[in-house]
Amino acid sequence: MNTGLYRDTHCVLDFDHHAAWVDDHHVQLTRKEFELLAELVSSAGEIVPRDSLLLNVWGYGPQIRTRTLDVHIRRLRRKLGIYGERQIETAFGIGYRFQPRPGSATPLHYLEAVPA
Amino acid sequence: MNTGLYRDTHCVLDFDHHAAWVDDHHVQLTRKEFELLAELVSSAGEIVPRDSLLLNVWGYGPQIRTRTLDVHIRRLRRKLGIYGERQIETAFGIGYRFQPRPGSATPLHYLEAVPA
DNA sequence: CTCGTTTTTCACAAAATTTTTACAATCTTC
DNA sequence: GAAGATTGTAAAAATTTTGTGAAAAACGAG
C-alpha cells in the first residue's frame, strides 16, 4: 500500500486519508475509486495493464470477465473534472495510464489542508 | 515474450512497457504491431521466416492462408517513419528481416518516459 | 430490518483494431 | 520478356475492446 502524497499541477492525492484535491476543490472518492486511482498514480506515466488493476484492486484473476473496471474508470474521470479525460488515458487492449501533468507545483493551501 | 530494451541508432523498443521510440519521438503501436516488431527485433539482423512470424505472433500453422502479416508489416513500416522501408526488409519467398542500424545511442527522451 | 450509498452487472453504443478482399506491383525462373 | 508465384496496398468487412446509462445487487450505519 502506498503512503504519503502525490501531487502534480492540478491534482493532489493523500494516500493516508483517502482524500483528493483537483484544482482547488476537494474531490470525494469512494474506497474502490481511491484504490484504483492510487494504483494508477503509483505508476504515473506508465501503462498499468488491466490484469494488474483487476488483480491488485479487486483480487480478480485474469479469467474473470467483468466491466466494473471500466465503470470505475469512467466515474474517476468524471470526478477528476475537465482534466480527467486527458489525465487517465486508455491504452487500447492493454490497460490505462495516469498521465501526470508536467511540473508539480503544490499550492500551499493543499499542504495546509492535509494534516500529517 | 521478450523483456528489456532494444536500441539502435534511431530506434528504441521497451518490451516491458510496450513502448517504442523512433528518432526521439514516441511511436504508438497496437498490440499486434508491437508483437510483430518485437519478434523481428529479437532476431535483428537475421531473416525471420513468415511461418515463424505467423506461428509466434498469430498462432497460425503453416497451412493457414492469410495476408494479415503483410498488412501489419506495411503499417509497421509506415509508423517507423522514413527508415521503416529500409529497416524492415523483405526476403522474397522467405520472410522479413529487421536491419539494425549501427551504433546504439539511447535517446535521452526515452529516460524521461512518455511525452504528452 | 430499512434506508442511503457503493459496487457490480447488463445491454447496447461507440471506437479502435485486426482480418479479409481484390487487385496492382514485383520478383524468380525459364 | 512471359508465366507463375509472392508481396504491396487501399478499402471494406469483421472482430474485439472500451464507453456508458440504467438497473440490480451488495454493503453498512443506524
Residue B114: which of A45, A93, A94 has the nearest Cβ? A45
pLDDT at A3: 67
Please give the mean pLDDT across all residues of chain A.
Answer: 85
Q: How far is the CA of B71 from the C1' of C23 (A)?
A: 15
Please give the mean pLDDT across all residues of chain B.
Answer: 85
Residue B11: is its pLDDT beyond 90?
A: no
pLDDT band, residue B18 (cuts 50/70/90) = confident
- % of residues, chain A, pLDDT over 70: 84
Residue A83: is its pLDDT beyond 60?
A: yes
Count of all residues that appear for chain B in the document = 116
User: Largest alpha-carbon pair distance within chain B?
Assistant: 45
Mean pLDDT of the region B42-58:
96
Residue A10: is its pLDDT beyond 90?
A: no
SS3 B21: strand
Mean pLDDT of the region B1-29:
83
pLDDT at A91: 95
Q: What CA–CA distance (Å, rounded) separates A11 from A29? A: 13
pLDDT band, residue A50 (cuts 50/70/90) = very high
Q: A8 — phi, psi (to 5°)?
A: -135, -165
Least confident of A14-23, A69-78, B4-13, B100-109: B100-109
pLDDT at B64: 92
> Are the beta carbons of B100 and B45 closer than 8 angstroms?
yes
Residue A108: is its pLDDT beyond 60?
A: no
All protein residues with a CB under 7 A from any atom of strand C: A 28, 30-33, 58, 66-68, 71-72, 92-93; B 28, 30-33, 58, 66-68, 71-72, 92-93
pLDDT at B84: 81
Q: Which residue has the higher pLDDT, B46 or A81?
A: B46
Mean pLDDT of the region A35-54:
94
The answer for residues whose C-beta is within 8 angstroms of residue B66's C-beta and 6 or more apart is: B54, B58, B60
Chain A residue with CA closest to B14: the answer is A46
Residue matched to cell numbers 518490451? B15
pLDDT at B106: 55
CA distances B28 to A7, A14, B22, B79, B84, Å, are 27, 32, 10, 8, 14
Cβ–Cβ gap A94/B31 under 8 Å: yes
> Which of A7, A44, A4 is closest to A22 using CA atoms?
A7
pLDDT in tens, B73-92: 999 999 998 888 889 999 99
pLDDT band, residue A113 (cuts 50/70/90) = low
Cβ–Cβ gap B30/A93 under 8 Å: yes
Nucleotides in chain D with any atom closer than 7 Å to protein CB: 6-11, 16-22
Cβ–Cβ gap B18/A47 under 8 Å: yes
